[in-house]
A and B are shown apart, each in its own frame.
Chain A
Amino acid sequence: MPDLFDAAEPESIIGVSELIGALRERLASEFSELWVEGEIGQVFRSGAGHFYFDLRDESAQLRCVMFQASARHLLFDPEEGMQVRARGRLDVYAERGALQLIADELRPAGEGALRLAFERLKRRLYDEGVFSDEHKRELPFQPECVGLVTSLRGAAIHDFVRALRKRRASLELLVVDAPVQGDGAWRGLVRGLHLLDAHPRVSVIVLTRGGGSLEDLWSFNREELVRAIHELETPVISAIGHEVDLVLSDLVADARAATPTAAAELVAPDTALLERQVDGLRRRLVGRQRAILAHQGQRLEALRRGLVHPAERLEALGRRLRAAHSRLLPATQRDLARRQGELARQRAALLRAAERASERRAATLATLRARLEALSPLAVLERGYAIARRVSDGGILRSTGEAAAGTELDLRLADGSLRATVTGPAEDA
């Protein structure tokens, strides 16, 4: 054991500050960026927003500080007992000679811790009613303009657009490029949502990214993002990760799609399907119209049959007339001949009758004449009698008293008359 006083002078002696300074340099060059995993011990948050906490495991402990500039990007509230991973650089807090980690990022370590943070936030927002159905807005049936918040460098946008193209969607897609993972990604997402919400044409917003670990998807569990979605005017579809991934933006959104492709199917109706629908309606329309026309046509035909054009009617009458005429003519001729024969017979009969009558009359006349002649006064006159008549009145004298002297008389003899004048009665009478 060397004698304290005999000991040789140390080759070099440095001051505390110098040592600490040298140490800080070494730390800065060798431990400038590292990830440390441990359980959070005591946590203290300063008024300025800095986080002070211990990271520990079974046998060691490390002081950590996260300054406000980094702390505001925290995905969760660090709590004692949480298993976390901290990224940062090692440094020495010179005043106290204490080793510390200047953390610029802090993440729950492992699914378990993240799950715990997730469940805690979910529970809190659920109790607040942020996820309740009464806040859900209806999606437009066929939006003309769709907003999309995603990363232009991600796979999700390609899946989404491919699905839209497959459905031959007719719409305008307005994309806001936003980081979809990492610290502070939620800020870009919220900005994108607000930008699209304020856009006059956008009628639905899709928030999407491809699958990833719970940690990758953590931005979509960020309380600020959940609240932003909750407060938007425009309906939001959240399509984050794969089928199994559930994030809080899915719960708060108006509709959840399992994948970006499913979101496209939700947002745009299938054109082929609509075409079939329109075609089906067209068929029904045309079929119905045909049936109506056929029915009316039948009615019309039935009516038409009852309706005869005057010319047609005239024609029919003409035909009947000609037929009647053609039958009439021979009949007339026959009739005429018959009538003529009859007439001839009648005439002959008449002539014969007339002759007979004439002969009979002649005979009767002769008889009558003979009888007449026998009775005629003229015949008496032939025998020498005369008829005396007064000239004045033609009266036949039957008595001498009927003619006074001086009366003029007409004496009718057989061959003529004599004029005589009465001179008076005869002596011998």
Chain B
Amino acid sequence: MSEGSEDSAELRFEQALERLEGLVAKLEGGELGLEDALANFEQGVALVRLCSERLRAAELRIRELEQGADGPTERDLELQGDA
């Protein structure tokens, strides 16, 4: 699991989802020994957790990008009338 979580920090949501789909398909394919099935299951649970966390952490950050005299500058942007 520790190895998996190191991986997953780098994992994009899309990749995590793909990997999860692969794991589930493998488990559903049967023919896995109990240890392998358990290992796959644990990895799958970690991926589910990762995906769920990513989705839960859903946040929209809005910033304005401008061409300044010394190159592009960014600043947070508040939109009026839009919570």
Residues of A bordering B, CB below 8 Å: 141-142, 147, 152, 157-158, 161-162, 164-165, 168-177, 191, 195-196, 198-199, 271, 274-275, 277-278, 281-282, 284-285, 288-289, 292, 296
Contact = CB atoms under 8 A, between A and B. Distances in A.
Given A191-B67, A278-B51, A296 B74 contact: no
B48 A175 contact: no
A271 B55 contact: yes
Contact of B74 (A141, A169, A174, A282): A174
Contact of A271 (B12, B21, B58, B65): B58
Interface of B: 12-14, 17, 20-21, 23-24, 27-28, 32, 34, 37-38, 41, 44-45, 48, 51-52, 54-55, 57-67, 72, 74, 77, 79, 81-82
Contact of A285 (B14, B48, B66, B74): B48
A176 B64 contact: yes
A296 B65 contact: no
Interface centre among A142, A147, A158, A170, by most chain B C-beta atoms within 10 angstroms, is: A170
Complex A-B, nearest 3 residue pairs according to Cβ-Cβ distance, in ascending order: A170-B58, A288-B27, A168-B58
Contacts of B60: 161, 164-165, 169-171, 173
B61 A141 contact: no
Contact of A292 (B37, B54, B59, B72): B37
B20 to A, nearest CB: 5
Nearest to A168: B58
22 contacts: A141-B14, A142-B12, A157-B79, A158-B79, A161-B79, A161-B82, A170-B57, A170-B59, A171-B61, A175-B62, A175-B65, A175-B77, A177-B64, A277-B17, A278-B52, A281-B21, A285-B23, A285-B24, A285-B45, A292-B27, A292-B34, A292-B41
B61 to A, nearest CB: 5
A284 B63 CA distance: 40
Interface centre among B58, B74, B82, by most chain A C-beta atoms within 10 angstroms, is: B58
Nearest to B29: A288
A174 B17 CA distance: 26
Nearest to A177: B64
A157 B41 CA distance: 43
Nearest to A153: B80
A234 to B, nearest CB: 13
Nearest to A170: B58
Given A285-B27, A288-B28, 11 more contacts: A152-B64, A162-B82, A170-B58, A175-B63, A177-B66, A271-B58, A274-B13, A274-B17, A274-B51, A285-B20, A288-B24
Contacts of B24: 281, 284-285, 288
